[in-house]
Amino acid sequence: MLRKESALKRRDLYLRKLIAFQDTEPVKIITGIRRCGKSSLMKLMIQYLRDSGISEEQIIEMNFESMEYREMTVQDIYNYVKDRIPQNKRVYLFFDEIQRITQWQDAINSFRVDFDCDIYITGSNAYLLSGEYATYLAGRYIEIKMLPLSFAEFIDFYGYTVKESQGALGGSKRIYDADGESYEPQELLEAYVKFGGMPGIANVGLNMDMAMTLLDGIYSTVVVRDILEREKRRGQRQITDPDLLRKIIMFLADNIGNNTSITSIGNTLVNEKLLDISERKGKPAVQTIQAYVGALLESYVFYEIKRYDVKGREYLRTLGKYYIVDIGLRNYLLGFRDMDTGHVLENIVYFELLRRGYDVAIGKIGEREVDFIATDAETKRYIQVTESMNESSTRERELAPLRKIRDNYEKIVIANECLNPVTQDGIKIVRLTDFLLDGGYVMGGSFRKF
């Protein structure tokens, strides 16, 4: 008996982007870590087309995770689609995880040339957009970069509703479940920090054992299928040691938000006896560590952020940072020990800024550092992230780097605990939950449309 589809939860942030590019020439490519919702987004787009009056014969979808299609050659794919193209009608082509097929790009390029079609693709590895395919479609594709659930989406997926009430001191938010019981936003944020934002976890509820089982499956699939098997298909065989790969993953997960270099990763693993130098006859080559880290970046497990010299107005080559795509995945890897809460909060804010369309860098201002410089086509914002702004010493520490920046762009401190959100010396101080739940609270007064 075929699997029955469950009701799809909307991901409007991403769906709006797809709709905006509907019926345009570029191939729409949805990328992101496995199980972050790419296939569901594709189904949401298909449902939108149906609701818009597109007939079933105009929609062709193929999921290459299914055995029905996995053994196809690129010629088989072309013939399959060609045989189903309706006469004198535009066709909408949806290909899920197509990178599993060797030379798949030849079929996509042929569809563009031969048929009146609108093409949508998902892929779980950045290698999808590298090399030959990028050359084929230079300027003819747009990438929709998908992430796990934001905090606002997390609340929605778990069936909660955010309501705002006005009081003498201004507005305040409460979160309500289906039975009308209310919660402080901070309570739900603690759950988000614990469970993370992988959409599938919402199907099992806030159940720790089931959530960890699901995260174990995601981790195993990413490591085995998207990294180890991919290297076999590429024929390069750079990533051959599963134990070394896991040790590097554990190191990066444990050091999110810390200044890190490829050399320091190798040295630390050796010094902490996480690498057996007797077997390796010395420290692992920088090129080897770089290849393993590069594979993790390509699989969207970790994201690298560069440093930017505010005064010199240039990017620096040394000591970037890495953040993990999902805090729940980090908890699965490291366990629920005492976490570096400050860096966990940075991790959450970093990905929220990416969701809102910003390019993000670390700011260097003299000997001080600004957590994030968030830039888009219109403006720039300097952002500090901290656990608390309730102590005067902490306030001074977080405000000091921002005071040293002399331009007129917006400067913000986002605090997990903040009894008195105010503007001080032209610097906005806001609560983390306000920032996460209201895109316009610090970003100009209205929700940012994409």
Query: Could you read off the pLDDT of 147-161 as tens digits, one per residue?
Result: 999 999 999 999 999
- Range of lowest pLDDT (87-91, 108-112, 271-275): 271-275
pTM above 0.75, yes or no: yes
Rounded to an integer, the average pLDDT of 222-247 is 74
Who wins on pLDDT, 428 or 105? 428
Residues 276-299: b if buried by 16+ CB within 10 A, e if exposed: eeeeeeebbeeebbebbbbbbebb
Helix (H) or strand (E) holding 371: strand 368-375
**The pLDDT value given to residue 449:** 34
Q: Are the C-beta atoms of 314 and 308 separated by less than 8 Å?
A: yes
Lowest mean pLDDT segment, chosen from 101-115, 117-131, 249-263: 117-131
Nearest-5° Cα angle at 190, 370 to 440: 55
Beta-carbon contacts of 145 under 8 Å, excluding residues fewer than 6 positions away, are 31, 32, 354
137, pLDDT greater than 70:
no
Residues belonging to the chain: 450
Q: Are 84 and 59 in contact (CB under 8 A)?
A: no
Question: Mean pLDDT, the chain, as a whole number?
Answer: 87
Structure tokens at 359: 């390019």
Coil/strand/helix, residue 281? coil
Q: What is the pLDDT averaged over residues 166-195? A: 86
Residue 13 has pLDDT above 90, yes or no: yes
Q: What is the pLDDT of residues 406-430, one digit of tens each?
A: 889 999 999 999 888 888 889 999 9
Confidence of residue 440 (pLDDT cuts 50, 70, 90): very low
- 3 state DSSP class of 199: helix
Predicted confidence at residue 425, as pLDDT, reads 87
- Please list the residues that pair with 375 across neighbouring strands: 359, 380
- As a whole number of angstroms, the distance between CA 102 and CA 73 comes to 7
Strands (E), 170-287: 170-176, 182-183
Amino acid identity of residue 195, one-letter, is: F
Whether the pLDDT of residue 188 is over 80: the answer is yes
Q: What is the DSSP letter of 29?
A: E
Confirm if 51 and 28 have CB atoms less than 8 A apart: no
